[in-house]
């Protein structure tokens, strides 16, 4: 996986976390006020959308091929025991 592919797969995760936090804050504000019933629905929608984005990012990470370890000789700054 290249660096750009890693960043592309992290973007849905980051947006999902932001939506989860925003939804929790909106729900907390909606529960604090009696007249803000629609605000709670917006909060729940944010939480659901954030959870779906996080699930999509995790599926992308699970489908990516595993990184292969380098098979070259040890670099000079690595100490080897013989």
| Confidence band of 76 (pLDDT split at 50, 70, 90) | low
CB-based contacts of 74, cutoff 8 Å, min separation 6: 80
Inform me whether the pLDDT recorded for 70 exceeds 70: no
pTM of the model: 0.63
What value does the mean pLDDT of the chain take? 77
Higher pLDDT, 12 or 1: 12
Find the mean pLDDT for residues 17-37.
80
Closest Cα partner for 24 from 11, 10, 7, 43?
43
Residue 42 in tokens: 């917006």
Residue 18 is predicted with a pLDDT of 93
Confidence of residue 43 (pLDDT cuts 50, 70, 90): confident
Q: With 0-12 CB in 10 A as exposed, 13-18 as middle and 19+ as buried, what is 11?
A: exposed
Angle at alpha carbon of residue 43, lines to 37 and 48, rounded to 5°: 130
**Contact between residue 48 and residue 26 where contact means Cβ atoms under 8 Å apart:** no
């Amino acid at each position: 996986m290249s660096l750009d592919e890693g960043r592309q797969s992290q973007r849905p995760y980051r947006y999902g976390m932001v939506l989860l936090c925003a939804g929790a804050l909106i729900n907390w504000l909606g529960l604090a006020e009696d007249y803000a019933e629609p605000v709670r629905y917006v909060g729940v929608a944010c939480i659901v959308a954030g959870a779906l984005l996080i699930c999509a990012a995790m599926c992308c990470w699970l489908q990516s091929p595993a990184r292969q370890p380098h098979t070259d000789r040890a670099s000079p700054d690595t100490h080897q025991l013989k």
